[in-house]
Each structure stands twice: as C-alpha cells, then as structure tokens.
Amino acid sequence: MIDFNSIWIDIECPQCKYIDEIQLIDAKAEKLRFCNNCKVKIQLKDSDGSVHSNIETINNAFKGLEEIFKKIGK
C-alpha cells in the first residue's frame, strides 16, 4: 500500500518565494524547516488538522479497496 506520509509536496518560502519540497509527514507533525535559499525559519502548520485527517481518510479508503479486491479474488 502507498505510504502517503512519505509523499513529497512543494511549499513556497513566505519570504523569498523559493519553492522547496517537504514530506506530508513533516506538515502533519508541524515541523520547523529552513528555506534552502534564504535560510529563514518556516514553521509548518496544520491548524485545522486537514493534513492529518486527509491522510487518514485516503489510507482508510485504500484499505477498504484492498478488502474489496481480496473478496473478489476469492
């Protein structure tokens, strides 16, 4: 099964607009990152919990799909 926590996404530095990549797990954990261009601190926020809840929703959907395929294969 796909591990959505390890998927890379683009973020934009709020100061210099440099595009960098983070893993979804970093956003979920609200980690502190540094811009690779201007070195400003970027505090990742998931204030409404959307990263966490959507990763769980997607994982549960794939688990359900996996169960359906198992039943079909019997």
Distance of alpha carbon 11 from alpha carbon 23, whole angstroms: 10
Helix intervals (H) in 2-49: 24-28
Q: pTM score > 0.95 for this model?
A: no
How many residues would you count in the chain?
Answer: 74
Distance of alpha carbon 1 from alpha carbon 68, whole angstroms: 14
Domain boundaries, the chain: 4-72
Residue 65: C-alpha distances to residues 14, 30, 45, 55 (Å):
39, 30, 31, 15
Per-residue model confidence as pLDDT tens digits over 14-70: 999 999 999 999 998 999 999 999 999 999 998 888 887 888 888 889 888 889 998
